[in-house]
Amino acid sequence: MEQSRLPIGIFDSGVGGLTVLHAVNDLLPDEQLLYLGDTARLPYGTKSPASVQRYATHAADYLVGQGIKLLVIACNTASALALDELRHRLAPIPVIGVVEPGATAAVNRSSAHRHLVLATESTTSQLAYTRAILRLDPDAIIEELPCSLFVALAEEGWNTGSIAEAVAGQYLDSIRERSRAERPDVAILGCTHFPLLQGAISNALGPGIEIVDSATTTARAVWQELAASNLAAPDDANGGIRLIATDGAARFARIGSAFLGRKFAAEDIELTDIHPADKGN
Ligand code: DGL
C-alpha cells in the first residue's frame, strides 16, 4: 500500500490522548487514525523513567507492526521521557510528541513570559517543558508543578464539583495568593487528562492566567509534518478511527467518551496485548 494511505498511529497510557485524537480528527478528517490506549499499565505519570521508556517502546513497536506512516505520542509523560529514543528507533517514520506543541501554544499566548506547567510527577521531573519553552523564549520564567491526583479525578469522571475544586485548590491556592507581578500569565495543561478539569483549575488559579493545552497545536504539527514528508492522505481517501486498548474495554468506553467528545461503546474497542512478554501478566 502507498505510504500516504497508511494510518497515523497515536498512543497514550489510557484515554487522555483521545483529546489529541479528537483534535487531529477535526483538523484532518480524511486521515485514518489508529489509537492505542495502554490502559493495562496506566498511569505512566508515577512510574520510573526506565519503565515509561519500556512501555512507550512497546506501544510504538505495536503500532509500527500494524503499519503506520507517522506516530503521535499523545502522552506528556511518554513525550517527556521517550521522544528522542522513539525518533531514533522509528526513523524514517516521523514521531511527534505533545511537549513541543504545548510549549509553542504557551509561548504564543504569554505576554509576561511567566509560565506555569501543570503535569504528572514523571513529566515535571524531566523539565522537558522548561527546556522546550526556553528554546522558543530564552527570557521565559517557568515553574513546573506536579498535580498527579488530577489524573485519578479525570479517570473517575469527577471533573467538576466539590472534590475537583478542593484538589485544585490544594495544588494551586499558593499561586492565586501571589502578587500579580509574581503570578504566571499562562498555565499549560501538560498532561492529557487535565483539559477535563479545566474549569476547576481555572477557578483555583483565579483571573488573569490563560490556560492552554497541546491538543490543537499537536494536530497542527501533524498536518505540517504530513505536508513536509508528502504523506498526507490522497483526495480519494476515507478517514476513520480505530480504537485499541490493552485492558478494560467497558471502562475505556465509559471514561473515554468524555475525552473524545463523542459517545462510543465497549464493542468499538479492540483489546490486545502489545508485547509478547506481557501476555498473561
Ligand atoms: N497520559 C499521561 C500524561 O499525559 C497522564 C496519565 C498517566 O499518568 O498515565 O502525562
**Would the CB of 150 count as within 6 Å of ligand 1?**
no
Please identify every residue annotated as catalytic: 75, 191
Residue 151 CA: which ligand 1 atom is closest?
6
- Ligand 1 atom 1, closest CA: 75
pLDDT of 93-116, one tens digit each? Answer: 999 999 999 999 999 999 999 999
Euclidean distance between CA atoms 129 and 209, whole angstroms: 18
Written as nine digits, the cell of 99 is 511537549
Q: Please give the distance, rounded to the nearest whole angstrom, from the Cα atom of residue 150 to the centre of ligand 1.
A: 10
Q: Which residues make up the CATH 3.40.50.1860 domain(s) of the chain? A: 3-97+217-278, 100-214
Fold (topology level) of 3-97+217-278: Rossmann fold (3.40.50)
| Residue pair 153/164 in contact by the 8 Å Cβ criterion | yes
Q: Please give the distance, rounded to the nearest whole angstrom, from the Cα atom of residue 236 to the centre of ligand 1.
A: 36
Euclidean distance between CA atoms 232 and 202, whole angstroms: 37
**Would the CB of 77 count as within 6 Å of ligand 1?**
yes
Confidence of residue 1 (pLDDT cuts 50, 70, 90): confident
| Residue pair 110/185 in contact by the 8 Å Cβ criterion | yes
Written as nine digits, the cell of 100 is 513541543
Residue 11 — φ and ψ, nearest 5°?
-135, 155
Cell 498473561 sits at which residue?
280
pLDDT of 163-218, one tens digit each? Answer: 999 999 999 999 999 998 999 999 999 999 999 999 999 999 999 999 999 999 99
Fold (topology level) of 100-214: Rossmann fold (3.40.50)
pLDDT at position 280 is 41
Q: Please give the distance, rounded to the nearest whole angstrom, from the Cα atom of residue 194 to the centre of ligand 1.
A: 9
Q: Sort strands 141-146 and 95-96 into parallel, antiparallel or unpaired.
A: unpaired
How would you class 66 by CB atoms within 10 Å of its CB: exposed for 0-12, middle for 13-18, buried for 19 or more? middle
